[in-house]
């Protein structure tokens, strides 16, 4: 079996089960609206049902459920699901929250679209991907969505601060689509890089947003580190703020394609 990037461990994925992570997850800036135009454009089959893998608080699943007949939202974090259920649209009758691992959750296909927002990198690709194709309708896709802030004027110092305080010291850069394709688990069809959207955020919320990351969970960081990180980040961004607010540019990428089937056991791809 090919080696995964070292930091993508099941243990690090469990950090999303921390109450403190779930509590500040909504400080991540929302996906740009255009993400949903792209995702909905990928739904061409009936029934218009979607499966959202690693749905978290439903940043993808809740808006998708507004437009589709049905959405199954799978996540292994009870804390994230509980928050998501309480957010707008979280209690829609056509949105079903399923608590457990995507790799072995019992599902109700067919789905015209499978989505994964900032989540698929955490999963066991060799187990999960081969099970996805049979869940899809004939023209169904797996779409992976990522968002991030465009580099800010304070980016270099921010990167240094994160490197100092992150509890993940073995981070390895990777390209998820390439990793999946190398393993013969996925055939990419296309990707859209969406134009950045401008958002305003308070310094406090901006600081909290970093603690929604697995690598900066307040439940794993020594409390003195969490305190120092917050102090130093606040000092860093203060000169760039206006009335306590920062201007941020959120961009997103949607990549989609076909998950491939091959025997999960036996080890080698065709």
Ligand X SMILES: C[S@@+](CC[C@H](N)C(=O)[O-])C[C@H]1O[C@@H](n2cnc3c(N)ncnc32)[C@H](O)[C@@H]1O
CA distance 199 to 216: 23
Query: Shortest approach of ligand X to residue 213 CB, angstroms?
Result: 8
Pair 53, 79: CB distance under 8 Å? no
- The continuous run of DSSP H or E covering 64 comes out as helix 61-67
CA distance 191 to 243: 38
Query: Shortest approach of ligand X to residue 236 CB, angstroms?
Result: 24
Which residue's CB is nearer to ligand X, number 77 or number 215?
A: 77
Which residue's CB is nearer to ligand X, number 76 or number 95?
A: 76
Which residue's CB is nearer to ligand X, number 117 or number 140?
A: 117
Query: Shortest approach of ligand X to residue 21 CB, angstroms?
Result: 8
Which residue's CB is nearer to ligand X, number 67 or number 238?
A: 67
Strand pairing class (95-99; 70-75):
parallel
Pair 59, 115: CB distance under 8 Å? no
Query: Shortest approach of ligand X to residue 107 CB, angstroms?
Result: 12
Which residue's CB is nearer to ligand X, number 13 or number 112?
A: 13
Three-state secondary structure call for residue 210: helix
CA distance 123 to 144: 13
**Which spans of this chain sit near ligand X (rule: CB under 6 A)?**
13, 16, 54-56, 59-60, 74-77, 80, 101-103, 117-119, 122-123
Count CB neighbours of 117 within 10 A: 25
Query: Shortest approach of ligand X to residue 63 CB, angstroms?
Result: 11
């Amino acid at each position: 079996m090919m080696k995964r990037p070292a930091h993508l461990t099941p243990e690090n994925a469990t950090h999303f089960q921390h109450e403190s992570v779930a509590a500040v997850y909504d400080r991540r800036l929302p996906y740009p609206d255009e993400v949903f135009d792209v995702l909905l454009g990928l739904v061409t089959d009936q029934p218009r049902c979607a499966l959202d893998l690693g749905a978290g608080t439903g940043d993808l699943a809740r808006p998708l459920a507004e437009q589709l007949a049905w959405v199954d939202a799978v996540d292994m974090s009870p804390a994230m699901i509980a928050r998501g259920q309480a957010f707008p649209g979280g209690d829609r009758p056509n949105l079903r929250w399923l608590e457990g691992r995507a790799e072995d959750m019992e599902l109700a296909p067919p789905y015209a679209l499978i989505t994964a927002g900032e989540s698929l990198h955490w999963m066991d690709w060799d187990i999960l991907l081969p099970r996805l194709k049979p869940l899809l309708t004939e023209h169904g896709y797996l779409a992976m969505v990522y968002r991030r802030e465009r580099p800010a004027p304070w980016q270099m110092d921010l990167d240094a601060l994160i490197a100092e305080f992150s509890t993940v010291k073995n981070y390895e850069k990777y390209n998820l689509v390439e990793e999946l394709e190398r393993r013969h688990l996925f055939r990419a069809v296309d990707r859209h890089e969406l134009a950045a959207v401008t958002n305003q955020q308070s310094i406090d919320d901006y600081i909290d947003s970093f603690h929604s990351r697995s690598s900066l969970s307040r439940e794993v960081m020594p409390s003195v580190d969490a305190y120092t990180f917050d102090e130093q980040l606040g000092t860093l961004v203060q000169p760039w703020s206006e009335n306590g607010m920062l201007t941020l540019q959120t961009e997103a990428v949607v990549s989609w394609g076909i998950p491939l089937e091959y025997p999960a056991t036996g080890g080698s791809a065709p």
